[in-house]
Structure 1
Amino acid sequence: MLRLLRRHRMIEIKSRTELEAMRAAGLVVARTLALVTAAARPGVSTAELDELAEQTIRDAGAVPSFKGYHGFPASICASVNEEIVHGIPSAERRLAEGDLLSVDCGAILDGWHGDSAVTIEVGTVSTADHALSAATRAAMWAGVEAAVAGARLTDISHAVETAAAREGSAHAVEYGMIAEYGGHGIGSQMHMEPFLPNVGKPGKGPRLRVGMALAIEPMLTSGSGETVELADGWTVVTADGSRAAHWEHTVAITDEGPWVLTAPEDGA
């Protein structure tokens, strides 16, 4: 494993063997999110989903990345409706028909991290909420496709921003982009250099090299991009009460193109 010094920032470069170890951690995350998605039904509490996630991660011989991280009390972030990110699971927060639930999950296996997020539609959601989640997911995949060796970091940012705008135009909606939160380097730690903005002009930032790994994670809202952090010190909500969606994958830069380390085994 090498570390690049770029303008005083350290960017971790992984070997193929180390990326394969990250893939193993990513599969733990993918399986956990699949089980949480299947369990997220009306009446289920977000605390119950957190218990399921923690047990699944530990049964795989891994450790939840989030639990205890800077004091975070749970194994997943469970953000409902106007909550964007970092929602704390609670026994009192029971899901209802039509909720949008964003679940962020991380696992450490043999010292390597995987990090991914999905937005789950609880029961039948509104057409607008379905489109919001689909637009966020499309923006994420546009970012993934831009994660190629030789490109610049903000080529990913620009791809995410452009896709979000395109999706909004298709539905005659101007989605709010959460600019102050974004993606990040990942590997032997969960949050590493570089910070990956979800907006920006292309052609800026460090050049992408084989062996880099990035978490690509757009967050869109159906209103403005303004945010408020709640008194719990974690939960970030939309300032205008609009709904939010969050999708994320951990992606490695390889000679063959982007390798989605947190994709399910079936590649979905």
Structure 2
Amino acid sequence: MNAFTGTSVESYKQRYINRGRLLISCPDQQGIVASVSKFLYDHGANIIESNQYSTNPSGGTFFIRIEFEMEELAERKATLEKEFRPIASVFNMEWKFTRVSELKRTAVFVSKELHCLLELLWEWQSGELMCDLALVISNHEEARSVVESFGIPFYYLPASKDIREEVEKKQLAMLQKEEIDVIILARYMQILTPNFVRAHPYQIINIHHSFLPAFVGAKPYHRAYERGVKLIGATSHYVTDDLDEGPIIEQDIERVDHRNQAEDLKKIGRSIERRVLNNAVKWHLEDRVIVHENRTIVFN
């Protein structure tokens, strides 16, 4: 465990040792909330927080996120899941239980630009981004010194379109060995192959330096400048096989004007990118995001 975060992580785990989360999506119908609440009550759970949403009360899809306290949750989780299955079957639910104290194993991919990586490291160091930050992988050496100063393993794996599949085999092996749950692309300027994406469905979070769907692909700030936009933004989304088309988790914008050159837009944009990616990652780590078709329900 890292010296920066050891105390805060242990304190967090102890504080939330009996805190659990339940995420559900299913066809909307009467009785869902009542059945789930009764199940938790019958198992001695106390509901701390509950958020729900329906796309359409008449024939739509229902989503709910519940946070609860239960004594000896770690020992009882398997039984809880087993006994919940009949209810899930009745309502045709997609669902998962998680334990708050069981931090997600996280990897960060980065290239030359370090502003998003630094934001994540600072948030992690301060205990605001609760995860088990296992490693950083880069196709450049620029991030090594800063990453290793935090006590985090850094791996340099040169990558290009000519050797992409070979490099990804190494990356996938490392991720599997480290039992990684979440991959953060903190300005990792390489396109991932379908094989890589399929191995981690809705577990890869990217930051795109544009307010999607505008300016998909490379050099969006230069294209925004050429177009004379008055607003620029950033988008954090899950990675799919379609470039920059995955379900959007978070976006933000700032106003610019005719006085701003392309380099000014990049500078302003870096600030937006940092906070947008940080928010998206935090919500994912806290199990606040449910993917529905190519959209997300975010209980933030």
Give 1 or 2 for the bigger CA radius of gyration: 2
Q: Which has the higher contact order (CA 8 A, sep 6+)?
A: 1
* TM more than 0.5: no
More helix by percentage: 2
TM-score (norm 1): 0.25
